[in-house]
């Protein structure tokens, strides 16, 4: 991403984002709530178009005007949404099959096999027929993850995959993310507020502030940065922390 800007009305959310994401890495994106992390990820998969600046994936610039080009991009990059965003009227299998059908797959046996494999990867085998309303929060997250990986894209964007999960399930999501990287060569971009996960999964960490990239480095570098803004964030201290002492 080069000098990417986005605004909504008079709110200037992205103010010149410069970011490189390397093939095969797991990058964790950190930053305060409302700071533009979800907005930034939506630019990488072509759901939002910058008002200024450029984004290239695999050496090709994202041309936001053409639906056909975007269909090509969506095969390469998929996103697990913050809310899960499952279709309530479709079964688990219908939800996971959705991107396959969108991409033109018509062979029901192929679809069934891919859905079954994706459910195995997220450790929910045999849950095809359940409806979203019958799932726990953690299961919904995993189904959303299965849908994001069913086509084995080159890159997966995860928007808060740990939110609302118990620590053991959160840990299993971390293993999944790392397995996708090591076994399938998938490039991962993860937004999370779960600091333990950051140090478990990140090859690199990026911290956003005021609509720009404030810090880029390894997990060790962020810990040893000595920067109060970063350390307060990592340790969950607010500006008013002193008042409680
Ligand atoms: N489609 C939209 N239209 C108008 N404003 C939007 C839109 N999407 C996001 N915003 C605004 O952009 C800002 C950044 O939102 P974003 O969802 O990227 O934050 P975030 O960093 O993901 O926060 P959180 O950690 O709470 O998920 C917010 O003020 C939000 O209200
Ligand atoms: Mg968000």
- Local structure of 77: helix, strand or coil: strand
What does the alpha-carbon distance between residue 14 and residue 35 come to, in Å, rounded to a whole number?
8
CATH code (residue 23) = 3.40.50.300
Ligand 1, from 36, 85, 162: best to mutate by most atoms within 8 Å of Cβ?
A: 36
Host domain of residue 74:
2-86+155-235
- Quick check: is 111 in a domain? no
- The structural domain count of the chain equals 1
pLDDT at 121: 84
pLDDT at 243: 57
| Cα 22 off chain centre by | 15
Ligand 1, from 4, 9, 35, 84: best to mutate by most atoms within 8 Å of Cβ?
A: 35
Whether 98 and 90 have beta carbons less than 8 Å apart is answered as yes
From ligand 2's centre to the CA of 36, what distance in Å? 7
Per-residue pLDDT of 201-242, as tens digits, reads 999 999 999 899 999 999 999 989 989 999 888 888 876 555
- Quick check: is 34 in a domain? yes
Q: Under 8 Å CB-to-CB from 121, ≥6 apart: which residues? A: 146, 149, 176, 179, 180
Which band of pLDDT confidence, cut at 50, 70 and 90, is reported for residue 65? low
Whether 27 and 204 have beta carbons less than 8 Å apart is answered as yes
> Can you tell me the mean pLDDT for 127-151?
89
Per-residue pLDDT of 169-186, as tens digits, reads 888 889 989 999 999 899
- Quick check: is 189 in a domain? yes
Q: Tell whether ligand 1 has an atom less than 6 A from the beta carbon of residue 83.
A: no
> Can you tell me the mean pLDDT for 88-99?
93
200 vs 63, residue with greater confidence: 200
Average pLDDT score, the chain: 89
pLDDT at 116: 93
- Quick check: is 62 in a domain? yes
pLDDT at 240: 56
- Quick check: is 177 in a domain? yes
Given a cut of 70, whether residue 188 has pLDDT beyond it is: yes
- Quick check: is 69 in a domain? yes
- Quick check: is 222 in a domain? yes
What does the alpha-carbon distance between residue 56 and residue 1 come to, in Å, rounded to a whole number?
7
Q: What is the DSSP string of 113-124?
A: HHHHHHHHHTT-
Whether 1 and 61 have beta carbons less than 8 Å apart is answered as no
Q: Taking the model in full, what pTM does it have?
A: 0.90
């Amino acid at each position: 991403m080069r000098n990417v800007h986005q605004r909504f009305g008079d709110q200037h959310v992205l103010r010149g984002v410069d970011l490189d994401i390397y093939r095969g890495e797991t990058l964790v994106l950190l930053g305060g709530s409302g700071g533009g992390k979800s907005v930034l990820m939506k630019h990488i998969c072509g759901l939002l178009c910058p008002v200024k600046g450029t984004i290239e994936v695999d050496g090709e610039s994202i041309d936001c005007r053409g639906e056909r080009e975007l269909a090509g991009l969506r095969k390469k990059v998929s996103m697990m949404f913050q809310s899960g965003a499952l279709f309530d009227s479709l079964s688990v299998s219908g939800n996971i099959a959705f991107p396959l059908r969108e991409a033109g797959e018509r062979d029901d046996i192929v679809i069934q096999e891919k859905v079954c494999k994706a459910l195995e990867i997220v450790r929910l085998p045999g849950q095809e027929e359940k409806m979203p309303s019958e799932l726990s929060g953690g299961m919904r997250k995993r189904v959303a993850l299965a849908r994001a990986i069913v086509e084995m894209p080159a890159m997966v964007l995860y928007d808060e995959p740990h939110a609302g999960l118990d620590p053991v399930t959160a840990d299993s999501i971390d293993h999944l993310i790392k397995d996708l990287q090591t076994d399938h060569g998938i490039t991962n971009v993860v937004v999370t507020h779960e600091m333990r996960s950051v140090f478990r999964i990140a090859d690199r960490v990026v911290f956003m502030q005021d609509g720009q990239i404030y810090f880029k480095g390894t997990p060790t570098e962020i810990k040893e940065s000595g920067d109060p803004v970063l350390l307060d964030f990592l340790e969950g201290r607010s500006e008013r922390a002193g008042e409680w002492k």
